[in-house]
A and B are shown apart, each in its own frame.
Chain A
Amino acid sequence: MADSALDQLKRSGRIVVVGASLAGLRAAEVMREKGFAGTLTLIGDEPHEPYDRPPLSKQVLLGKADAEHTLLPRRRDIEAEWRLGVAAIGLDMAARTVKLADGDEVPYDRLLIATGVRARPWPNEAEGELAGVFTLRTREDGAGLARALAAGPRRVLVIGAGFTGSEIASACRERGVDVTVAERGDAPLVGALGGVIGAVAAELHRENGVDLRTGIMVTGLEGDSSGRVRAAHLSDGTTLECDVVVVSLGAQRNTEWLTGSGLGAGPRGIACDAGCRAFDLRGIVTDDIYVAGDVARSPHALFGYQFLSLEHWGNAVAQAETAAHNMLSESTDRRPHLWVPAFWSSQFGVNIKSVGVPSMGTEIMITQGSRAERRFTGVYGYQGRIIGAVTFDNARWLQFYERQIECTAPFPPPFTTVDRRADGQRPIPADFPDPSVPTHGPTITLSGYSPADRRIATFTPAGH
């Protein structure tokens, strides 16, 4: 039999991965596992080998691990050509080349884009550059903030009470550092988990000595004569003295380098099909360009084929594995990325986990435990089916609800559960904020409409 194009690609093709982090590394490992013997180039603008980010807001801030010590383990040798510390600045889809900041052009037969997201900076640039003002996304951010906390600041201000902001506040308290959290929404975590759970999160903050201020915006930061931050001005007219400020306002997708390339990339990410193949601007799927991780948005059958963008560790791994598999498969052997979203966080000693898309839920029912004990399972309902679940120190139930979500089981759950309490007898409104009002960023973004909806859609990203 004649050598197929796929065999040739596997034997001597060129695969380029842009974005040398979690998704990029995992994809590279899978490609080699599947017998790809050609040239594999990993391009990353950070000067480091792929490292893990979740410990940055946990172990690292607690002083239990160094930010430099979070390199990801290697499951196998990937024999890659590493181009680290150099950004990709352009893509020529016709010539199949990636242009680098140092002037080089790297040709590819298959391209995987895994450029992730970056922290949304403080909108006032001069204020954001004051010494003592941080964001938390990179290893350098983590090292700098850990140093600042170890130095014993008088007060830390965290702007934004999403997962990362809450974890930072939690680390401060564990280290005995005074911390104020300012959140525009009504409670911590409301964008991701709704107001019912947000209220529990707010109590957690306060019980642990966080000065939590909700419904409040920081209007400006003020520095001293040496350029160090010394105070913040709040929308209620008060001034707060603080010597460390952490801006934790969600993330922006790293897609600017694709401007003008003709790829369907923008501030909302890079649209791709369920097989991780990128769309071009005309909505036509490409054959040779794949996307994975935080930068991707892809349709999911379980959620009405809406486009999901997830800023979740597990999604980066699973999508990278699917993309790598599909890049090296005949079209009949390709797999869809149908991962059920899952996420964990750890704050104030409580293990918080979620599956599905809670933010799609309109109702919630506490099916196990109780909120007062900070140990419970909350199940989210959407149009009569189970769409998501969250646990506080109750993770062993999560797998069960994951399967319920997968099989579109009815909501409220018709069965009785062990450990059901009085406050879990019936569903209550989940109390999500109006999606057009921006919060700190939900970490799951739904966009697009289900084919069942008869609407003409024009999108205006809220507020940015």
Chain B
Amino acid sequence: MRLVVDLNRCQGYAQCAFLAPDVFAMHGDEGLLYDPQAEAAQRERVAQAVAACPVQAILVDELDLAATAPAAATSSGEASDG
């Protein structure tokens, strides 16, 4: 799944790094590094990070988030969940 963090907004409080440590990591005291194409297996955790970010700085594919719903069609052509 594709994601991008608006680092102008990000306040570096590391909620995302706590919830999805394989995707988000702090770099130094308040910098944030993230994997712009997270593994499909991380979907659930990334969705939690998106919801928990206090400034809504994390943007993820709309289609991918929708795909977390059980009934959604798998049209994105991504590798299957692990």
Contacts and interface: CB of A to CB of B under 8 A. Distances in A.
Contacts of A77: 62-63
Interface stretch (A67-75, A99-107, A148-156): A67-75
Given A73-B4, A76-B62, A350 B31 contact: yes
A342 interface: yes
Contact of A54 (B7, B12, B28, B63): B7
Contact of B11 (A59, A64, A393, A396): A396
Contact of A65 (B29, B31, B36, B61): B36
Contacts of B34: 59
Contacts of A449: none
Given A73-B2, A73-B3, A395-B11, A350 B61 contact: no
A75 B59 contact: yes
Contacts of B27: 346, 349
Contacts of A74: 2, 61-63
Interface of B: 1-4, 6-8, 11-12, 27-31, 33-37, 59-64
B62 A71 contact: no
Most chain A beta-carbon neighbours within 10 Å: one of B6, B8, B29, B63: B8
Nearest to A54: B7
B43 to A, nearest CB: 13
B4 A52 contact: yes
B6 A314 contact: yes
Nearest to A344: B7
Interface string A350-366: 11010000000000000
Contacts of B6: 313-314, 317
Contact of A64 (B3, B29, B33, B63): B33
A58 interface: yes
A343 interface: yes
Contacts of B8: 313-314, 342-344, 353
Contact of B31 (A71, A73, A351, A375): A351
A28 interface: no
A317 to B, nearest CB: 8
Nearest to A391: B30
Contact of B36 (A59, A317, A393): A59
Given A71-B36, A74-B63, A314-B6, 9 more contacts: A59-B36, A65-B36, A73-B64, A74-B61, A342-B8, A343-B8, A346-B27, A346-B28, A346-B31
Contacts of B28: 346, 348-351, 393
Interface string A310-340: 0001100100000000000000000000000
A139 to B, nearest CB: 11
8 contacts: A59-B36, A64-B35, A65-B37, A66-B37, A73-B4, A73-B62, A74-B2, A393-B30
A71 B30 contact: no
A62 interface: yes
Q: Taking each of B3, B31, B35, which has the highest tally of chain A beta carbons within 10 Å of its own beta carbon?
A: B31
B36 A70 contact: yes
A300 to B, nearest CB: 17
Given A54-B7, A313-B8, A59 B61 contact: no
Contacts of B33: 58-59, 62, 64, 346
A70 B61 CA distance: 12
A413 interface: no
Nearest to A174: B27
A351 B63 contact: no
Nearest to A49: B2
Contacts of A342: 8
Contacts of A353: 8
Interface in A43-66: 52, 54-55, 58-59, 62, 64-66
A70 B12 contact: no
A65 B33 CA distance: 10
B71 to A, nearest CB: 18
A73 B35 contact: no
A73 B61 contact: yes
B31 A69 contact: no
Contacts of A70: 36-37
Nearest to A55: B36
Nearest to B9: A314
Contacts of B37: 65-66, 69-71
A263 to B, nearest CB: 30
